[in-house]
Amino acid sequence: MRDTSIGRVLTSSVILGIVVAVVHIGCGAPEDPGAPDAPDAAMDIDGTSACFGIADGAPCSNGTKLCVRGVCSDPSCGDGIVTAPEECDRGALNAPGSGCETTCKHTCVSTDAARNCQTSDSCATSGSCDDATHICKLGGPKPTGASCGQGKFCKGAECVDALCGDAVVTPPETCDNGDANGPGTGCEKTCKQTCVNPLTDCPATPCNIATCTADHRCATTPDATKNGQACAASLVCKAGACIAPGATCGNGILEGGEECDAGASNGPGSGCETICKFSCSGPGTQGSCVDMNACHAAPTCTAVTIGGNPGQKCVTGANKADGVTCGVGSICLASVCKPSVCGDGYRDAAKNEQCDDGNVTKLDACDNTCKFEQSHRVIGMRMQFGTDAYCTTNALGSAIAGVARTSFQDSLDAGIKDGSVSALFTFAGDLAGATGPVTVGNISGAPPSNAAPYDGVSDLDWWYAPTPSSIDATRTARAKLTGTYAGGALDATGHLNLITSVGGSLASLAVSGAKITIPIGAANVPTTAAAAAPPGHVASEHLVSTLQSFSSAGGTAGAPTGQMCGNIAATSLDQTAAPLSFLPGGANPCFEKYTTANRLIDIIVSGCKVTALKITAIKPTQPDQADPDVTPAGAGAPYALSADPTTKRVTGCKDKNGAVVPLQACLNAAAYSMSFKYATDRVIIR
């Protein structure tokens, strides 16, 4: 019977799986490192014995140094211990935007104006600093219509030129009703109010005084001073009505000069006004009717009967459908004319929106520019134990001896299938993967549930939630690669982050010098969810029904053809606990007698032999690469790590010239090459 527990040592990494198997080794969580049972009381040459059994950060060497993972060392940024003038130090978790920068300074501080999440975006509100985590919380977009400069306003996330007729009032405009602007409507075509001063803006009306309505249209009110005065041939003014001297407006009898008279039913908008005139003119046409809502069809002046008497009143037109243009760059939404913006919940084909889910949030299937988010997940990964023409170095894979290879792969396959190992990629480029530049984001995540019918090796358009630590405050992947689509394949280079939970604690495994190549599969229409559950896209995304994107890459889960290479930082391995199965009492204890004080780097450097036959499971291996983005230790790589012969803890390092260099600086700079083959399919990150 094959021993599968060894394979749980390194393969549970979220992205590449190289170190992630540590997650799957045992049922419990390893304790924090402790001291060996029998420390040497004497001070050795590198100060190691002085720190046996001493907590990290305790002073040593007469107080001039600190104990760092069992070694008396000079304090340095990245050692995981906060020492002045550092504000923070999370070791390998230090990263831009993470709360603790690579300089060991907080990402943001609310009391520091230079680090309080201010934004230069004129259409976004400034963010705020969470002083508990020192991570910026994003500000939201300013409301549509907010000024973003002279003659400009915010339209969604964009700062655009203000135009008369865009349904947004921006100085020097005094009104703007979009396509409803027009003569006498209350808002003229010039975006000036129709009525401000009725004496100059409105025509004279017999028997009445001109006034302005609340919506700036011209209106009248009876002028009592004109009662009895002639207003037309044989007609006189009576309470604002121009009628025959013997007529009475409001008695319900149609008399000289009256257009209508419904008696007590006379009134504004009734069909017969209080001056016995029709409420509108031009039956069957728009006539004198005005509707300042551009999302209504034209109103009509319609003949009506009021208490048995004829009249004419304005009837509002039908509501226009959502998406109908109602102004310059504006559309009708729920019968209101609004600027068309990404995030308004309506997919505007005229703006080339591919989706619109009612927000401008990234990583929720529809991005902040209303474009479809092309995301994939690794469904098959094959550890490589040698090299080839593409991945010419593979120190970490080569360290895994034949006795452990099958169980390692079995463990990795199991993690992918049950969703506990979920390497996710986002692609910003051609949706068909045919041609052009592409930016690849690398994050980790998890399905909402891995219960049936979930199957991690066949999860087309399944849902995955991103691991918060793998994205920044803008919900953008911290690790990125750039490349191109060409000849039916993707080629990209950059960085990867291997993020996983080891023993219940977060471990971030940084990969520099990463490169990937993978053949692109056929494009098809993404699936639609039958309900508000995976798989598929939900109706609220308003995804273009004919949109297509490539649904797979790199062959199949069982026979992947994509390739992935890179260099895992030694400091990441130094901060990963030793697998429980390799410790005394574990399923496959190493004869080297590692303890909970050891780290994965210790086992890689010193090796591991298992079973009564002392068969090699891990070959002693030194780092073969260096991170080009990290300051070299001493004269630089290749570095040689050394371990205490008793504790097997890595305690020393020499540079390429054989000179002793600070251990933490060495671990930060040194790296192990690795190689994988992999396949992906399309998923939905939300």
Is the overall model pTM greater than 0.95, yes or no?
no
- The pairing of beta strand 463-466 with beta strand 670-685: parallel
| Phi, psi dihedrals of residue 684, rounded to the nearest 5° | -120, 120
| 71-96 mean pLDDT | 84
**Residue 91 pLDDT class (50, 70, 90 cuts):** confident
**Averaging pLDDT over each range in 49-58, 128-137, 164-173, which range is the top one?**
164-173
pLDDT digits (tens, 9 = 90+) for 603-635: 999 999 987 778 999 999 999 999 998 999 999
pLDDT digits (tens, 9 = 90+) for 635-646: 999 999 999 999
| Residue 23 pLDDT greater than 50, yes or no | no
| Residue 346 pLDDT greater than 90, yes or no | yes
Which of residues 402 and 373 earns the better pLDDT score? 373
Tokens of 214: 């609340």
Report which secondary-structure segment, H or E, holds 396. Answer: helix 395-399
**Residue 59 pLDDT class (50, 70, 90 cuts):** confident
| 378-383 mean pLDDT | 94
For 270, the 3-state DSSP assignment is coil
Structure confidence at residue 36 (pLDDT) = 39
* Residue listed under structure tokens 């062959």: 555
Structure confidence at residue 499 (pLDDT) = 62
Neighbouring residues of 675: CB distance < 8 A, sequence distance ≥ 6: 384, 386, 387, 388, 391, 393, 394, 397, 563, 564, 565
Asked if residues 82 and 458 have their Cβ atoms less than 8 Å apart, the reply is no
pLDDT digits (tens, 9 = 90+) for 177-213: 999 999 999 999 999 999 999 999 999 999 999 999 9
DSSP state of 143: P
| Residue 48 pLDDT greater than 60, yes or no | no
* Residue listed under structure tokens 């009381």: 41
What span, in angstroms and rounded, lies between the C-alpha atoms of 247 and 268?
21
Asked if residues 585 and 593 have their Cβ atoms less than 8 Å apart, the reply is no
Tokens of 379: 């469904």
CA-based radius of gyration for the chain:
37
pLDDT digits (tens, 9 = 90+) for 142-151: 888 888 888 8
Instruction: Give the CA distances from residue 479 to residues 37, 165, 326, 465, 567, in Å, rounded to whole numbers and listed in that order.
Output: 41, 44, 43, 17, 14
Structure confidence at residue 144 (pLDDT) = 85
When mean pLDDT is compared across 55-69, 79-93, 498-512, the lowest value belongs to 498-512
**Residue 22 pLDDT class (50, 70, 90 cuts):** very low
**Residue 331 pLDDT class (50, 70, 90 cuts):** very high
Residues, the chain: 686
Asked if residues 10 and 421 have their Cβ atoms less than 8 Å apart, the reply is no
Q: Calculate the average pLDDT of the chain.
A: 87
What span, in angstroms and rounded, lies between the C-alpha atoms of 623 and 640?
7
Which of residues 533 and 68 earns the better pLDDT score? 533
Which of residues 34 and 536 earns the better pLDDT score? 536
DSSP state of 292: -
When mean pLDDT is compared across 138-147, 269-278, 396-405, 503-512, the lowest value belongs to 503-512
- The pairing of beta strand 436-446 with beta strand 463-466: antiparallel
| 568-574 mean pLDDT | 91
Neighbouring residues of 103: CB distance < 8 A, sequence distance ≥ 6: 77
Which of residues 308 and 670 earns the better pLDDT score? 670
Residue 659: CB atoms within 10 Å: 11
| 5-11 mean pLDDT | 38
Structure confidence at residue 374 (pLDDT) = 98
Structure confidence at residue 58 (pLDDT) = 85
Q: What is the 3-state secondary structure (H, E, C) of 480-538?
A: EEEEEEECCEEEEEEEEEEEEEECCEEEEEEEEEEEEEEEECCEECCCECCECECCCEC
| Residue 3 pLDDT greater than 60, yes or no | no
Give the DSSP per-residue string, 555-589: B-SSSB-EEEEEEEEHHHHHTSBPPGGGSTTSSS-
| 340-349 mean pLDDT | 94
Q: In what order do the strands lie in the sheet with 330-333?
A: 325-327, 330-333, 336-339
Task: Say if residue 638 is preceded by a cis peptide, omega within 30 of 0.
Answer: yes
Structure confidence at residue 42 (pLDDT) = 35
Residue 139: CB atoms within 10 Å: 15
DSSP state of 194: S
| 478-507 mean pLDDT | 79
Structure confidence at residue 24 (pLDDT) = 36
**Could you tell me how many helices (H) and strands (E) the chain has, helices first?**
6, 35
What span, in angstroms and rounded, lies between the C-alpha atoms of 31 and 33?
6
Neighbouring residues of 358: CB distance < 8 A, sequence distance ≥ 6: 343, 344, 345, 540
